[in-house]
Amino acid sequence: MLAKIRNLVARPAKKQRTPKLPPGQRVYAVGDIHGRLDLFESLIEAIERDDAGRARANSDVVLLGDLIDRGPDSAGVLDRARSWAQERRVEFIKGNHEEMMVAAASKLDTFRSFLKFGGRETLMSYGIDPQFILEADAEQLQQAMLEAVPQGDFDFLDGFEKMIRMGDYLFVHAGIRPDTPLDHQSGQDCRWIRDPFLSHPGDFGAMVVHGHTITEEPDVRLNRIGIDTGAYVHGTLTAIGLEGEQRWFIQARDEGQGAINIEIAA
């Protein structure tokens, strides 16, 4: 692994109250993995190494959703996420892709949409033959999914949280609706929204850490931080580390030919 230091933080243009976590708490939030088990494994290693190198704290990981679809090994990502949660505290937030896969098990129209948005790759990761995926009709393929995917995986995905609040930070998959109290936010918005969330300049009631909308580097604003850096598009999986008023980024980057570099920036 090659460690590099890069300046990824956009400095605020004006003074503002710096968001913080309670004393003794540390959080690592991970953006959209989308089936990239290779990047996920490398980022897990980097997070654990970073955590061990800092002062003792109550350390949590938050996975911001969209663990599945598009990339080559969604089944492997889910297995690794569950095993990691047995080793340390890991919280799971439901993304729109988890929502769609759960609904696809019982709704044929949703299943068809699931296939269009990366579900075919997910089915292949569970061992369903690619040629069968190309030739089968939707009903046959849905039945194949129900036979290949353990019910425990559907239950696992369906149990993910809508949002998580820690200190001055709110962790959510897509975002929230402006001018709506945090405890009145809909699951639909939390998993699917873009605008008016992304363009809103005002206070959300917390610093929102989210994924869902891809940017090549972390999107640091006065009221939100986006960390979906396109694991399946750009080959970069990003985590943000938070402690007190500090924040830093850890990234696993696919450099091609099996090489993954770890980059850390304060």
189 in Cβ contact with 176 (< 8 Å): yes
Closest CA to 77 of 112, 27, 118: 118
Q: How confident is the model at residue 14 (pLDDT cuts 50, 70, 90)?
A: very low
pLDDT over threshold 90, residue 266 = no
Query: For 242-263, what is each residue's pLDDT tens digit?
Result: 999 999 999 999 999 899 999 9
User: Can you list the domains of the chain with their CATH numbers?
Assistant: 18-94+162-265 (3.60.21.10)
Residue 117 carries which DSSP code? I
177 in Cβ contact with 193 (< 8 Å): yes
Q: How far apart are CA 240 and CA 266, in angstroms?
A: 10
pLDDT over threshold 90, residue 169 = yes
Percent of the chain with pLDDT over 90: 92
Q: How far apart are CA 230 and CA 236, in angstroms?
A: 6
Token reading at 165 = 């609040």
Closest CA to 227 of 10, 4, 1: 10
pTM: 0.93
Query: For 44-69, what is each residue's pLDDT tens digit?
Result: 999 999 999 999 999 999 999 999 99
